[in-house]
Amino acid sequence: MNPDPIQSEDPKPVVLVVDDSLDVQRLLRARLRSEDLDLICADNGADGVALARARLPAIILLDLDMPDVDGFEVLRALKDDQRTLEIPVIVLSGLQNAQDKVTAFDLGAVDYITKPFDLMELRCRVRAALRLHHLVQMLAQRAQIDGLTGLWNRAYFDSRWKEEFSRAVRYDRPVSLSLLDIDHFKSVNDTYGHPAGDAVLQAFCKVLLRESRHTDIACRYGGEEFALIMPDTAPADAAGVCDRIRAAVAALVWSRHPDRAVTVSAGVAGGVPVDGFTPVQWIEAADEQLYSAKHGGRNRVMVRDTGANPLTLARAG
């Protein structure tokens, strides 16, 4: 997952062909060579389902009439799995089987292509399905993005933090969470107006993305508060990242108010999760550290090793 959704790169879409006929696979490969996509093939239904789960293709071209696990069974398996549920499936079917197409649509297919393929039709339908996939992806992502800053929003944070936390528990790896809050933000809004406040939030986000690492997940937690999830990161390293952010924000020069500095406080909870600790308690621990950073004079980072030694307090900044 890219920490900056707005700037995420768009790799070639993966198109999965599930067809037991090698002739058809070769033909599709040749006919779709001019399209900018990564074509992968499965010879049978079972492999098709496995490959779909492993690669999460943008679209699937699915033959209905296959021995053993046929196309209908593959469709059911795809639609039964949360991961593959949304992948548009185009059914490859003979002209003669109208009922098959109806059944396939009932099972969730989005389109069909009849064999033998008409070249132009094949390309158009593949393009249309790719466009659909792209739009669905974009909508899903938009629902998780904060409009002002372009960071992941609170809803995304909530689900991603749970995921990263349970991953850390499962693999016995450290994870760190930082809550960052812009100091005296209310006074920026009150003194210079809300547009200026928005500009501060946006400038802060740029610094947050620039100074955090590619694997960190930056989210707007609410108002002027931000969350940075740092997978596989011990608390001391997380404190280092946050202090880099803190220093870079403090060093910003505001062209219209060069005498005015904006600072940020951060609270970090990190470590290998111990038994019984919940993701919510972990957020509370980070929040406590943020609270003490504020009370300690702001423009600082406070860290708690919430893992091995839950009582240790460290301090940076």
Partner 1 sequence: MPDEPMSPLRPLISEFADEPELKELVQLFTSELPDRVRAIENAWSTREVTVLRRMVHQLRGASAGYGYPTIGHAAGAIEDRLRELGSTDEPGWLSLRRQVDQLVNLCRSAAMGVPRA
The residues that are catalytic are 224
Q: Which of 33, 214 has the CB closer to partner 1?
A: 33
Q: Does 115 bind partner 1 (CB under 8 A)?
A: yes
| Cis bond upstream, residue 310 (ω within 30) | no
Two tokens, residue 291: 């609270």
In the list 18, 27, 126, 229, the residue contacting partner 1 (rule: CB under 8 A) is 27
Q: How far apart are CA 49 and CA 80, in angstroms?
A: 11
Q: Which stretch binds partner 1 (CB under 8 A): 22-30, 70-78, 141-149, 183-191?
A: 22-30
Q: Does 96 bind partner 1 (CB under 8 A)?
A: yes
In the list 16, 24, 37, 91, the residue contacting partner 1 (rule: CB under 8 A) is 24
Cβ contact 229:216 at 8 Å: yes
Q: Does 117 bind partner 1 (CB under 8 A)?
A: yes
3-state secondary structure of 252: coil
Q: Which of 35, 288 has the CB closer to partner 1?
A: 35
In the complex, the smallest distance separating the C-beta of residue 128 from partner 1, rounded to whole angstroms, is: 20
Instruction: Sheet containing 59-63: give its strands across.
Output: 38-42, 14-18, 59-63, 89-94, 111-115
3-state secondary structure of 59: strand
In the complex, the smallest distance separating the C-beta of residue 100 from partner 1, rounded to whole angstroms, is: 13
In the list 11, 30, 99, 147, the residue contacting partner 1 (rule: CB under 8 A) is 30
∠ CA 251-254-260, nearest 5°, is 75
Q: Which of 117, 291 has the CB closer to partner 1?
A: 117
Q: Does 98 bind partner 1 (CB under 8 A)?
A: no
Two tokens, residue 271: 């470590």
Q: Does 23 bind partner 1 (CB under 8 A)?
A: yes
Q: Does 65 bind partner 1 (CB under 8 A)?
A: yes
Q: Which of 31, 79 has the CB closer to partner 1?
A: 31
120-135 per-residue burial string, b: 16 or more CB within 10 A, e: under 16: eebeebbeebbeebee
**Alpha-helical runs (H) found in the chain:** 22-31, 45-55, 71-80, 98-106, 119-142, 154-171, 185-192, 194-211, 235-250, 279-295
Can you name the residues that pair with 179 across neighbouring β-strands?
A: 227, 267
Q: Which of 23, 259 has the CB closer to partner 1?
A: 23
In the complex, the smallest distance separating the C-beta of residue 23 from partner 1, rounded to whole angstroms, is: 4
Q: Does 94 bind partner 1 (CB under 8 A)?
A: yes
In the complex, the smallest distance separating the C-beta of residue 60 from partner 1, rounded to whole angstroms, is: 17
- How many amino acids of this chain bind partner 1 (CB under 8 A)? 19
Q: How far apart are CA 75 and CA 77, in angstroms?
A: 5
Q: Which of 34, 255 has the CB closer to partner 1?
A: 34
Cβ contact 169:273 at 8 Å: yes
In the complex, the smallest distance separating the C-beta of residue 24 from partner 1, rounded to whole angstroms, is: 5
Q: Does 70 bind partner 1 (CB under 8 A)?
A: no
Phi-psi region of 52 (alpha: psi -120 to 50; beta: other; left: phi over 0): alpha
In the complex, the smallest distance separating the C-beta of residue 50 from partner 1, rounded to whole angstroms, is: 22
The footprint of partner 1 (CB under 8 A) covers 20-21, 23-24, 26-27, 30-31, 33-34, 63, 65, 67, 92, 94, 96, 115-117
